[in-house]
Structure 1
Amino acid sequence: MGVNVLRLDRRLQFLRAVMGDDGYGNVITGWAAHGVPVWGARKDVSDAEQVAAGRLLATVTARFIIRRSSFAAGLTPMDQFTCDGATWAIDGIKEVAQPRRGFLEITATKGAA
C-alpha cells in the first residue's frame, strides 16, 4: 500500500482500558473512548480458523495507516479501537517509512463474525 495513493476512508475510535470497582471490592476492567475518532486506511493481510475446545475460532489481521500526531504517538498495544462496527486488538505500531514520520502503521486482529 503506497502512502501516495492512500485513501483514509475509515473511522477509527481508539479505546483505553479503565479500572473500576463493582461495589463488592472486585476490580473490573472496561473500555472507554480515548481521543476523538481519526481517519485511517485498512488493508487485510491474513485470516485464520482453528478449532479450540470444540468451537471454531476465526480471526482477521489487518494493517491500518493513520496520520502521525502527538495523540497517535501515544497509542500502545494495550489500547484497542473500533472500526466498521468491530473491535480490533492492537498487535503492533510502527512508523511508515515514506513520507518520513508522516504516518503510523497499526497491525491489529479481530475475531471474525
Structure 2
Amino acid sequence: MSIKSGGELDRRITLQRASTVLNAFNEEISTWQDLARVWARKRDASDSQKIELLAAGQVGSFRVSRFTVRSSILTRSITPVDRILHDGVVWQINGVKELDEGRHRFIEITASRDADNG
C-alpha cells in the first residue's frame, strides 16, 4: 500500500535507542534514550505475516504492525535493537526497510508488542 501524501502520517511515535548512563552512585545502568518523535502511518499486519514471526521464534500472544515514517539520516539508522514507543506502549522492532516509492522517501518499520499489554 503506497503513501499518496504526508497527511497519511497521522500517528506520533518516539524512536528509542538503548544507552548506558551513570546513576547517583556512579554505577552504569541501562536505559532507553529518546532519539526523535516522528510522524508515522500505522498498519496492522495480516495473520500470515504474524505466522512468519512465529516461525522466526516469536512466542506468546502478540500484535504486529508496520510503521511508515519519512526517510531521514536518523530513521535510516534505526535497527532491530532499537524500539518504538507509541501511545504509551513499547513496540520491539523486527525489521526495517526502505520503500521504493517516491525516490526512497519512506522507511517501513515492522514491530511487535505483547498483545496482553496495551
Name the TM-score, length of structure 2 as normaliser: 0.76
| 1:29 CA drift (Å) | 1.7
1:4 and 2:4 aligned: yes
RMSD between aligned alpha carbons? 2.3
Residue 110 (structure 2) aligns with = 107
Are the aligned partners of 1:10 and 1:84 in contact in 2 as well (CA < 8 Å)?
no
Residue 43 (structure 1) aligns with = 43
1:33 and 2:27 aligned: no
Higher helix residue share: 2
Q: Deviations over 1:16-53 (max 9, x none)?
A: 1112456496x532112113x100000000466xxxxx
Structure 2 letter corresponding to 1:98: E
Identity %: 34
Higher strand residue share: 1
**Which segments of 5 or more consecutive residues in structure 1 lack a partner in the other structure?**
49-56
Residue 13 (structure 1) aligns with = 14
Structure 2 letter corresponding to 1:30: T
**Number of residue pairs matched?**
104
Q: Secondary structure at the match of 2:61?
A: strand
Q: Distance in 1 between matches of 2:64 and 2:99?
A: 18
| Match among 70, 73, 88 for residue 73 of structure 2 | 70
| 1:105 CA drift (Å) | 0.4
Q: Distance in 1 between matches of 2:18 and 2:80?
A: 11
Q: Secondary structure at the match of 1:4?
A: coil
Q: Secondary structure at the match of 1:72?
A: helix
Residue 51 (structure 1) aligns with = none
Structure 1 letter corresponding to 2:102: P
